[in-house]
């Protein structure tokens, strides 16, 4: 039996059957939802048992697909196609060690401009002067000055639980944000005093504000080119056991959660 849950514990689950290989999705919806990419393992819907569900909310992202997330912390948890007997469960939501392995990458043509699905990131592309960002449902929208520049991948336990995979973000001054819409904006306060911004309507991961005020935006929230480049991996000591790092970028091993 495999078990897991969201970051804050308001959603917990168990799987009483086989868990499939991890599929990493690079489509624009999943990148917007998880903040970078989303990774899930198929399980039979009849085998998925919710042991705590007071935080669970569902967002219908298309006519035939719904996405389950925690309304308290914003963790991306489940993807389910209507009429099918399976649910895709976020790989990052399983309690470690998971014993899982990545089986495939899908919708790779939709990958962000700042990384490659496998291997080293591509050369920097266009350098937009403004980056328009939003959640998946559109209830939160903001803009920051571009280009994104250096993008950092974070593999800490918190980022895995929230994104479903791992995070990728770039630093910016919070004072430069312009907010066309923040009706759905919610924040989860971490034990260390950081704040993680997400949309209460669809669960999309948006930003992180550290306790010392440092601010970073999830690269997947950017609509269109970021002008950024994945430059480093941090907290790789906490990295999930279901994926490897093959891009040759610098790695910081230290463990820790914001």
Domain boundaries, the chain: 2-106, 112-238
Q: For residues 94 and 3, is the Cβ–Cβ distance under 8 A?
A: yes
Which has the higher per-residue pLDDT, 21 or 257?
Answer: 21
Q: For residues 242 and 91, is the Cβ–Cβ distance under 8 A?
A: yes
Sheet containing 76-81, strands listed edge to edge, beginning at the edge strand earlier in sequence: 56-60, 65-70, 76-81, 86-90, 38-44, 22-25, 102-106
Query: Largest Cα–Cα distance in the chain?
Result: 50
Is residue 254 scored above 80 in pLDDT?
A: no
Q: How confident is the model at residue 16 (pLDDT cuts 50, 70, 90)?
A: very high
- From residue 243, alpha-carbon distances to 39, 46, 50, 92, 166 in Å are 10, 27, 26, 11, 10
Find, among 210, 202, 214, 226, the residue nearest to 258 by Cα: 210
Q: How confident is the model at residue 124 (pLDDT cuts 50, 70, 90)?
A: confident
Q: How confident is the model at residue 83 (pLDDT cuts 50, 70, 90)?
A: confident
Which has the higher per-residue pLDDT, 207 or 258?
Answer: 207
Threshold 0.85, pTM exceeds: yes
Is residue 242 scored above 80 in pLDDT?
A: yes
In CATH terms, is domain 2-106 a member of 3.40.640.10?
no
Mean pLDDT value across residues 121-150: 95
Mean pLDDT value across residues 219-238: 96
Q: How confident is the model at residue 257 (pLDDT cuts 50, 70, 90)?
A: low
3-state DSSP assignment of residue 57: strand
Mean pLDDT value across residues 225-232: 97
How many residues are there in the chain? 258
Mean pLDDT value across residues 78-92: 95
Mean pLDDT value across residues 25-37: 97
Alpha carbons 144 and 179: distance in angstroms, whole number: 9
Alpha carbons 23 and 102: distance in angstroms, whole number: 6
* Average pLDDT value over all residues in the chain: 96
Is residue 130 scored above 70 in pLDDT?
A: yes
Q: For residues 179 and 142, is the Cβ–Cβ distance under 8 A?
A: yes
Is residue 258 scored above 80 in pLDDT?
A: no
In CATH terms, is domain 112-238 a member of 2.170.150.70?
yes
Which has the higher per-residue pLDDT, 55 or 192?
Answer: 55
Q: How confident is the model at residue 255 (pLDDT cuts 50, 70, 90)?
A: low
């Amino acid at each position: 039996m495999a078990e897991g849950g969201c970051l804050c514990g308001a959603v917990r689950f168990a799987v009483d059957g086989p868990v499939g290989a991890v599929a990493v999705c690079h489509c624009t919806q999943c990148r917007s939802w998880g903040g970078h990419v989303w990774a899930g393992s198929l399980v039979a819907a009849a085998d998925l048992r919710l042991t705590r569900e007071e935080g669970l909310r569902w967002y219908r992202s298309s006519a035939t697909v719904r996405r389950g997330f925690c309304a308290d912390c914003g963790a991306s948890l489940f993807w389910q196609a209507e009429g099918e007997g399976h649910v895709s469960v976020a790989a990052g939501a399983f309690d470690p060690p998971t014993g899982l392995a990545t089986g495939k990458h899908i919708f790779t043509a939709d990958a962000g401009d700042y990384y490659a699905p496998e291997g080293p990131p591509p050369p920097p592309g266009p350098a937009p002067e403004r980056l328009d960002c939003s959640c998946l449902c559109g209830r939160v929208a903001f803009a920051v000055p571009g280009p994104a520049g250096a993008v950092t991948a974070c593999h800490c336990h918190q980022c895995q639980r929230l994104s479903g995979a791992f995070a990728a973000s770039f630093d910016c001054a919070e004072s430069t944000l312009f907010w066309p819409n923040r009706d759905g904006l919610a924040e989860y306060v971490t034990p260390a005093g950081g704040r993680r911004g997400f949309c209460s309507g669809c669960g999309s991961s948006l930003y992180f504000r550290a306790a010392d005020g440092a601010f970073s935006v999830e690269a997947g929230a950017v609509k269109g080119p970021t002008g950024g480049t994945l430059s480093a991996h941090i907290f790789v000591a906490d990295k999930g056991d279901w994926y490897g790092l093959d891009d040759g970028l610098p790695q910081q091993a230290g463990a820790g959660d914001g």
